[in-house]
Amino acid sequence: MKILIVVRHAKSSWKYDVSDIDRPLKSVGITDAALVSNKFKMGDYKPETIFSSPAKRAFETCKIFIANMGYSNKNIQISDQLYDFGGNKVVNFIKSLDKNHKSIMIFGHNHALTAIVNTYGDINIDNLPTSGLVIIKFEIDSWKDIENGKTELILFPRHLK
């Protein structure tokens, strides 16, 4: 069995004149990421490996989750393939993972993540919102074989307010 935990980065700020990859989080994004991560840590899901897009907003979201889960920042691996908005790079990244990874958590971007949870999960989501989290379980032995999984959990900030 494989478990995929997908998290869209928290709400980012357009206030600063920076490149897309350097956009920081808004204060509401920080609050929402803390809200979702605190709810998530109460469950039984403990990712073995955590991957983040190199984008500042994704990495900052990841660090909020990691801190609230009691993990070290040393647990985070950055992958340029997760700085993807279409989804093909993210899917290729997941399918290329070593089969020894049982449970992974990825932090990335839309529309890639909405497409992935709708393609591989069994519950359709109109839009994975910022700070949104979805868990999908797969009855497979190797990540290269992901196809139809079962959506186990959906956590959106609006569900927790």
pLDDT tens, the chain, 161 aa long: 999 999 999 999 999 899 999 999 999 999 999 999 999 999 989 999 999 999 999 999 999 999 999 998 888 999 999 999 999 999 999 999 999 999 999 999 999 999 999 999 999 999 999 999 999 999 999 999 999 999 999 999 999 98
Q: Which domain holds residue 89?
A: 2-17+27-43+50-100+119-159
CATH of the domain at 142: 3.40.50.1240
What is residue 49's predicted lDDT score, i.e. its pLDDT? Answer: 94
Give domain status of residue 107, yes or no.
Answer: no
Number of domains in the chain: 1
Give domain status of residue 109, yes or no.
Answer: no
Report the 3 state secondary structure along the chain: CEEEEEEECCCECCCCCCCHHHCCECHHHHHHHHHHHHHHCCCCCCCCEEEECCCHHHHHHHHHHHHHHCCCHHHEEECHHHCCCCCHHHHHHHHCCCCCCCEEEEEECCCHHHHHHHHHCCCCCCCCCCCCEEEEEECCCCHHHCCCCEEEEEECHHHCC
Give domain status of residue 112, yes or no.
Answer: no
Give domain status of residue 22, yes or no.
Answer: no
Threshold 0.85, pTM exceeds: yes
Give domain status of residue 36, yes or no.
Answer: yes
Give domain status of residue 111, yes or no.
Answer: no
Give domain status of residue 69, yes or no.
Answer: yes
What is residue 139's predicted lDDT score, i.e. its pLDDT? Answer: 97
What is residue 75's predicted lDDT score, i.e. its pLDDT? Answer: 83
